[in-house]
Amino acid sequence: MPELPEVEVTRLGLVDHVTGARIQALHLGKPLRWPLGVSVDRLRGQLIRHIRRRGKYLLLDLDEGLLLIHLGMSGHLRFDRALPPPGPHDHMDLHTDRGVLRLHDPRRFGAVVFAESESDPQARKLLGRLGVEPLTQAFDPAEFHRALKARRAPIKQVLLAGDVVVGVGNIYAAEALFRAGIRPTMKAHRLSAQRTGRLHEAIQAVLARALAVGGSTLRDFANTNGGSGYFQLETMVYGRAGEPCRVCQTPIKLLRQGQRSTFFCPTCQKF
């Protein structure tokens, strides 16, 4: 599914187009994960003042309220002056005086939800338990270590939960743990301050690199221009089960954690 780098790539591709655009109409297709929560008439004429990201949600700040957009497991957004008629997997067309913002989501796990503000119960339900943003100064190594000390689950599953640090999805958790030399089955509370510091640095480096190359396109993700991301072409462990480690030549191992595939090098990730 699109993770933090892919959602941020999407935001960056949209910000110049939609900031300052005025909504003319909203057309919805088949039901998505949650209902819109407001009459479409409420949105008509509203100005899109800014587009932000919180975790894997895009937040469109309006004159009154905001739209929260989630790309689900297979969605992507496209903006253009004119788009062809929507197809069976196009579930939102947001018409503005600058063009159309379209959500394409074959599996319909995405969402477009209106909230009066971030303190609205619906917004709090979606955003309230999200952890710290990893590419900001708020992601402090000492605080990260304190948070992990309270968690007895394996470190990979703690990262995926998103309530300690947000946006470190499956591919990026695997790559960060490899970079830090930490086995994904290590209990989070057992990590020393030194190893937590290495993981903190690795998370930021992996996510920054993914942003630089446009995120990862494993199946469906495309940026707002329809292009692909390329991070998946340079992964060290993710998706490489049985292949030799790029560092030590040991075959990469695959295991299941919480119904998710986990890839690691048993030699480079000893602890």
Do 172 and 87 lie in a common domain? no
Same-domain check for residues 41 and 156? no
Task: Please tell me whether residues 170 and 242 are part of one structural domain.
Answer: yes
Of 127, 162, 182, which one is at a domain's C-terminal end?
127
Q: Given the structure tokens 């290495």, which residue do they identify?
A: 198
In a domain? residue 166: yes
Provide the CB-side half-sphere exposure for 195 (13 A, CA).
19
Q: What is the pLDDT of residues 73-97, one digit of tens each?
A: 888 999 999 899 999 999 999 999 9
Q: Examine the domain organization and report whether 58 and 146 are in the same domain.
A: no
Asked if residue 111 belongs to a domain, the reply is: yes
Q: pLDDT tens digit string along 200-211?
A: 999 999 999 998
Q: Active-site positions?
A: 2-3, 56, 260
pLDDT at 224 over 90: no
For residue 221, what pLDDT is reported? Answer: 57
Any bridge partners for residue 115, and if so which? 66
pLDDT value of residue 2 = 80
Q: What CA–CA distance (Å, rounded) separates 23 from 20? A: 10
CA–CA dist 257, 266 (Å, integer): 16
At residue 50 the predicted structure's pLDDT band, cuts being 50, 70 and 90, is very high
Contact 127, 57 (CB under 8 A): yes
Task: Identify whether 132 is part of a domain.
Answer: no
pLDDT at 71 over 90: yes
Cβ 81 vs Cβ 99: under 8 Å: yes
Residues 121 and 79 in one domain: yes
- pLDDT-based confidence at residue 178 (cuts at 50, 70, 90): very high
What per-residue confidence (pLDDT) applies to 219? 53
The secondary element (H helix, E strand) that includes residue 4 is helix 4-18
Shared domain for 108 and 146, answered yes or no, is no
Residue 122 belongs to some domain of the structure: yes
Token pair 């830090």: residue = 180
Nearest-angstrom CA–CA distance, 79 and 95: 10
State how far the alpha carbon of 169 is from the alpha carbons of 116, 138, 195, 208, in Å: 29, 19, 20, 14
Do the domain assignments include residue 271? no
232 pLDDT band, cuts 50/70/90, is confident
- Tell me: do 85 and 153 sit in the same domain: no
Has residue 71 been placed in a domain?
yes
Given pLDDT bands bounded at 50, 70 and 90, which one contains residue 220?
A: low
CATH number, domain with residue 98: 3.20.190.10
How much is the pLDDT for 208? 93
Residues 150 and 257 placed together within one structural domain of the fold: yes
Q: What is the pLDDT of residue 231?
A: 82
For 154-163, the pLDDT digits (tens) are 999 999 999 9
Looking at the fold, whether 98 and 120 belong to one and the same domain comes out as yes
Mean predicted confidence (pLDDT) in 193-217: 91
Residue 169 in domain: yes
Q: Of 127, 150, 183, at which residue does a domain stop?
A: 127
How many domains does one find in the chain? 2
Indicate if 166 and 226 belong to the same structural domain: yes
In a domain, 237, yes or no: yes
Expressed as residue numbers, the domain containing 22 is 4-127
Same domain, 36 and 93: yes
- Which of 77, 113, 265, 256 shows the shortest CA–CA distance to 179? 265
Mean pLDDT of 29-45: 95
Reference 175, options 139, 148, 207, 149; nearest CA is: 207
Residue 237 belongs to a domain with what CATH number? 1.10.8.50
Tell which of 105, 127, 149 closes a domain: 127
Q: Specify whether 48 is located in the same domain as 19.
A: yes
Cα–Cα dist 147/155, whole Å: 11
Residue 109 has pLDDT above 70, yes or no: yes
The mean pLDDT value for 132-160 works out to 97
